[in-house]
A = this chain, B = another copy of it.
Amino acid sequence: MSAGPIRLSREARTALRPATTARITGGFWAARRRVNAEVSVPQGPDRLERAGNLANLRAAAGAAPEESGFRGDFPFQDSDVHKWLEAASWQLADGGEGPAEEELSRQVERLAGLVAAAQAEDGYLQTYYQLGPDARRWADPHWGHELYCAGHLLQAAVAHHRATGRDGLLDVAVRYADLIDATFGPGKDETVCGHPEIETALVELYRETGERRYLDLAGYFVDRRGRGSLGDGPPEGSPGPRPGAPYWQDHVPVREATAVAGHAVRQLYLLAGAADVAAETGDTGLRDALVRLWEDMAATKTYLTGGVGSRHELESFGDAYELPPDRAYAETCAAIAAIHFGWRMALLTGEARYSDLVERTLFNGFASGVSIDGERWLYVNPLHVRQDDEHRKAATGDQNAHRTPWFRCACCPPNVMRLLASLPHYMASGDAEGLQLHQYASGSYEAGGGAVRVGTGYPWEGRIAVVVDAAPPEEDWTLSLRIPHWARTYEATVGGEPVAERAENGWLRLRRRWRPGETVVLSLPLDPRLTRPDPRIDGVRGCAAIERGPLVYCLEQPDQPAGLRLDDIDLDPDAAPSPEHRPELLGGVTVITALALPHAVAREGWWPYRSGGTGSAWASGGPKAPEPVPVTAIPYYAWANREPGAMRVWIPVRTPPG
C-alpha cells in the first residue's frame, strides 16, 4: 500500500475507497510533481528558516536563548512548518532513492526533531503562545489558531508515520491530541477554533491510531460550530468591518446550512472535515448537508477556473453569482481546500461530478498557484488583470497578483507542496465492483481488487490508454472511466473494438471478464470551446472564455501583437479558435489562436457613460468596422510566469449590431 492521505478505517461507509497503490509516472502532473520534488519542497527549510519559523521552534525548546522572541506576524507560523513536513513526507513516500531523497529525509528528521523538541511537558505545542509576551493558551479562539495549528501538526505526523514508519512525530501528535481531548468537549471548554482544520486532522489521526476518541472529538467540533460559542468575535480597532460569525464559521450549524459562506478556506476545511466524519460514521444527515453545500458552491460561487472566494474583503465567498474576474480572490489555499472537500465527496457518494470539479480546479485555479519553475507563488488567482493595473504594479502585499518567493502569511506554498506530493491518491478509487479512474495521468493504480496502467498525453492529447494488468480471473470486474463533464462526445474501445456501453452520470462502466494486458482506449475531444457564463453572473456578462479539454485559457500580454490593448478588444465569436502545441513555451503548452476585434471607440470627453437611443453603437464599437487581429491564448495555469502585464480569461464577445 503506497502512503497517502485518507486511509479509511475498515468501518468507514463510503461508496468508494482510495486506491491502495497510486503512482504517477509521466505526463503533465509528473512534470509538475518533479518541479515540486526538485525545487519547491527542497527550498522549504531555507524559506522557513529565513521567515523565522524554525527559530521559533528552537526558542520554544529552550535550545537557543538568543532567539527568545517570537518571529513572524501571525500566531499560526508553526503551521507552515507542519505543512512542509506533511508535503515532504508524502514526497518521501514516493519511494525514490538517491542523494536528493537522502537529503530530504535528513531535513524531514531535522525539522520533525525541532517540532518534537518544542513540545511542552503537557503536550501543548504552539510557539506563538509559548514565546509570546502575553501568552495565554486557548484564550483567543478567534485569532489564536491553536486548534488549526494542531490540526496541521496531526496531519504532518500521520503523513510522516505512513511515509517513514517512524513513531516520533506521531507520538508528539498523540500527546497533543490527548491534551486537546482533555481540554475541549462537552462540559469542558466548549469553544470552537476560529479556523477549522482540527476536524479533518482528528479523523485522520483516528484512522492512523484507531483511537475512537479522536473521531468523536472531530464529530463534536463539527456539530459545535454555528452555535454561537465565538460570540460576535473580538472587538476590532480598525475601521474595517468586524469579521462576524461567517468568518469564523460559527454562523449556522453545518447540518442546517444551505449556502457556503464566510471565509472560503475556513468554510471548505470545515466541510472536508465534516465529510471525513460522515465517511467514518455513515451519518446520512451530515452527508446530505454536504451535498447541498457543494451544489451551492459549484453552481453559484465557483469561478470557471475552479477557484472560490469572490471577495478580497475577509477572504470570503460572495453572494450567489457574485464572481468578479478582476477582484476574484480565489486564494490558492481555497482551491486546495475545494479539492480536499470534493475528493472526499467523490469517495463518499461515488458520483463523478465531484471529480469533474476536482479536475477543473487542479488544472486551473490550483496549478496557477505555483510558477512553472516552482520557485514563486500566487496567493490570489484573479481571472482578469487590467492593462493599467497601478495597484498590481505597486504591489507588495500577499494579496496582489504578483508571484513572490514566499509570503508574510505563507499558508499557500506548503499547501501546494503537500497536494502535489500526495496527488497520485486523487486519481483512482476502488469498490467491490472494481476500479474507478477519476483523473487521467500516466501511472499505475491498484484498487478494487485489480490494477491498471495508464498512458496518456492528457491534457494536451485526448487519447488515454488503460492497460488492465490485474483483475479477478474468474469473475466480472468493472473498470470505470470518468467522462469529464466538459466532453460533449467521446470514443472508447477495448482491444480495438468500440464498446457497447454508454456513460451514465459521468461514468463509463466497463464490466466484463478481463484478460491481463487488455487495453482500453478512451478518446476525449479536444477542440477548443467558447464558454458562456450563466446570465446571472453579472461580472462577466457579454463575455466568453476559451477552453480546451480540462484547461481554461487566458489572453496574456506577452503573446499578443505589439500595441494591442487587452482592455480594448472584443472576441470574434465566428472565427474558430485553432490550437498549436508549443513545446518551448512555458514548459510546453498548447496555445490557441483566435481573432479579436479592437474597439473602434476612443475616449471622448470626461464622462464614461453615454445616453442614446436604443442602439448599442458604443458597445459594439462604433460605425467603422475594425480589422480583426489574431490573439493567442495560453492555459490559465501558466500565466504570470513572464513580465507583468494584462491578462484576461473572460473576453467580451462582439455582439451583432442591434
A contact set with B: CB distance below 8 Å: 73-74, 232, 235-242, 244, 246, 251, 259, 261, 295, 298-300, 302, 304, 311-313, 315, 318-322, 324-327, 353, 356-357, 384, 386, 388-391, 394, 396-400, 409, 485-486, 488, 529-543, 545, 547, 567-568, 570, 573-574, 599, 601, 603, 605-614, 616, 618-619, 621, 652-653, 655-658
Q: How far is the CA of A485 from the CA of B568 in the complex (A)?
A: 26
Cβ of A319: which chain B residues have Cβ within 8 Å of it? 326, 386, 388-391
- Ranked nearest first, the 6 interchain pairs of A and B with the lowest CB-CB distance are A542-B542, A534-B608, A529-B611, A241-B397, A541-B542, A573-B614
**Cross-chain contact of A608 among B533, B541, B543 (Cβ < 8 A):** B533
Q: Which residue of B lies closest to A76 (CB)?
A: B239
17 A-B pairs, CB-CB below 8 angstroms? A239-B315, A241-B397, A244-B396, A311-B312, A313-B313, A321-B386, A321-B567, A322-B326, A326-B538, A529-B612, A530-B614, A534-B603, A535-B618, A538-B540, A541-B541, A616-B653, A656-B657
A188 CB, nearest partner CB in chain B, Å: 29
**Cross-chain contact of A609 among B327, B384, B545 (Cβ < 8 A):** B545
- Check A610/B652 contact, CB under 8 A, given A237-B73, A241-B397, A567-B536: no
- Check A539/B324 contact, CB under 8 A, given A241-B397, A390-B259: yes
**Cross-chain contact of A242 among B295, B397, B653 (Cβ < 8 A):** B397
Cβ of A539: which chain B residues have Cβ within 8 Å of it? 324, 538-539
Copies in the complex: 2
8 further contact pairs, Cβ within 8 A, besides A240-B240, A530-B612, A531-B609: A299-B605, A302-B608, A353-B606, A486-B611, A533-B609, A534-B608, A542-B619, A574-B614
| Beta-carbon contact of B652 and A655 below 8 Å | no
| Beta-carbon contact of A607 and B322 below 8 Å | no
Q: How far is the CA of A608 from the CA of B388 in the complex (A)?
A: 30
| Beta-carbon contact of B608 and A537 below 8 Å | yes
A537 CB, nearest partner CB in chain B, Å: 6
- Check A532/B391 contact, CB under 8 A, given A298-B607, A311-B327, A542-B541: no
A359 CB, nearest partner CB in chain B, Å: 12
| Beta-carbon contact of A246 and B394 below 8 Å | yes
A437 CB, nearest partner CB in chain B, Å: 21
Q: How far is the CA of A537 from the CA of B652 in the complex (A)?
A: 11
Q: Which residue of B lies closest to A569 (CB)?
A: B535
A594 CB, nearest partner CB in chain B, Å: 11
| Beta-carbon contact of A532 and B321 below 8 Å | no
Q: Which residue of B lies closest to A610 (CB)?
A: B532
| Beta-carbon contact of A619 and B311 below 8 Å | no
Q: How far is the CA of A655 from the CA of B302 in the complex (A)?
A: 26
Q: How far is the CA of A60 from the CA of B166 in the complex (A)?
A: 65
A392 CB, nearest partner CB in chain B, Å: 8
| Beta-carbon contact of A619 and B535 below 8 Å | yes
Cβ of A567: which chain B residues have Cβ within 8 Å of it? 321, 536
**Cross-chain contact of A532 among B537, B538, B609 (Cβ < 8 A):** B609
Q: How far is the CA of A613 from the CA of B389 in the complex (A)?
A: 33
Name, among A240, A538, A612, A657, the residue most crowded by chain B CB atoms within 10 Å (CB to CB). A538
A486 CB, nearest partner CB in chain B, Å: 7
Q: Which residue of B lies closest to A568 (CB)?
A: B536
Cβ of A486: which chain B residues have Cβ within 8 Å of it? 611
Q: How far is the CA of A486 from the CA of B605 in the complex (A)?
A: 13
| Beta-carbon contact of B74 and A239 below 8 Å | yes
Cβ of A542: which chain B residues have Cβ within 8 Å of it? 541-542, 619, 655
| Beta-carbon contact of A658 and B655 below 8 Å | yes
Q: How far is the CA of A318 from the CA of B313 in the complex (A)?
A: 14
**Cross-chain contact of A611 among B74, B237, B488 (Cβ < 8 A):** B488
| Beta-carbon contact of A397 and B244 below 8 Å | yes
Q: Which residue of B lies closest to A488 (CB)?
A: B611
Q: How far is the CA of A541 from the CA of B124 in the complex (A)?
A: 55
Cβ of A313: which chain B residues have Cβ within 8 Å of it? 312-313
| Beta-carbon contact of B538 and A384 below 8 Å | yes
Q: Which residue of B lies closest to A384 (CB)?
A: B538
A566 CB, nearest partner CB in chain B, Å: 11
Cβ of A611: which chain B residues have Cβ within 8 Å of it? 486, 488, 529-532, 547
Cβ of A532: which chain B residues have Cβ within 8 Å of it? 609-612, 616, 618-619
Q: Which residue of B lies closest to A399 (CB)?
A: B241
Cβ of A242: which chain B residues have Cβ within 8 Å of it? 396-397
**Cross-chain contact of A386 among B239, B320, B384 (Cβ < 8 A):** B320
Cβ of A353: which chain B residues have Cβ within 8 Å of it? 606
A277 CB, nearest partner CB in chain B, Å: 23
Q: How far is the CA of A295 from the CA of B658 in the complex (A)?
A: 31
| Beta-carbon contact of B396 and A295 below 8 Å | no
A446 CB, nearest partner CB in chain B, Å: 30
Q: How far is the CA of A538 from the CA of B539 in the complex (A)?
A: 7
